Amino acid sequence: MAGYERGADGRLGRPAHAPPGAGGLATTFWLALAALVACYLPVVLNDRAIFGIRLSNMQLLNISLTQVNLMLITLLGALSLNYLTGVAGLVSIGHAAFYALGAMTGAVAGTQLGLPFPVALVASALVGAVAGVVAGLPSLRVRGLYFVLSTFALHYIVVFALSEYQFRVFGVVGIPFEDAALGPWTLDTPLR
């Protein structure tokens, strides 16, 4: 292919016009800039100002910190589904079931069991991961449409079980969760 060098093994390598290591500095710059923006974004969305200059909701596109948090949670789910589909080549419809199991575990561990927030967070991640392994082992034997149907069935089983548990234990109002705390530091303001 024109414009690319071939390596010793005959495969195409980096573009011929790019010096070795040229992308490293630019990549580092953009990652550092993204980290700075991510650190300053809560201040902007909470104070509605950039460096003291007030902004209107139209200028901020009516985005709040809650919407950014929900977007990042959804991004984690999309990235994990992309990994499953892109790398393994498997289509999963019941991917949200593992998220639901982790969320319900965190809520129950924090409210009913009274565990501290870091322990509830680790417990929710472990339950989601263990459920993924338990559901994934039998599903490894099926391919194609049968894998899709097995994950679809798992999704409905989890949704039904968790909905029944929530309705019987907490009623229709949902699960009341107190403010998360890391020791004496309570996460009760938008900036925390």
- Bridge partners, residue 15, by sequence: 4
| pLDDT given at position 2 | 56
Whole-angstrom distance, CA of residue 67 vs CA of residue 73 = 10
Question: What φ, ψ does residue 97 adopt, rounded to 5°?
Answer: -65, -35
What are 73's two structure tokens? 């949670």
Report pLDDT digits (tens) over 122-164: 999 999 999 988 888 887 788 888 888 888 898 999 999 999 9
DSSP letters of 129-187?
HHHHHHHHHHHTT--THHHHHHHHHHHHHHHHHHHHHHHHHHGGG----PPPEETTEE-
- Bridge partners, residue 181, by sequence: 186
Contact 191, 42 (CB under 8 A): yes
Ranges of residues in the chain with a pLDDT under 70 are 1-23, 190-192
Closest by CA position to 136, among listed 76, 83, 79, 94: 94
| pLDDT given at position 124 | 93
| pLDDT given at position 119 | 92
| pLDDT given at position 160 | 95
Three-state SS for 7? coil
pTM: 0.69
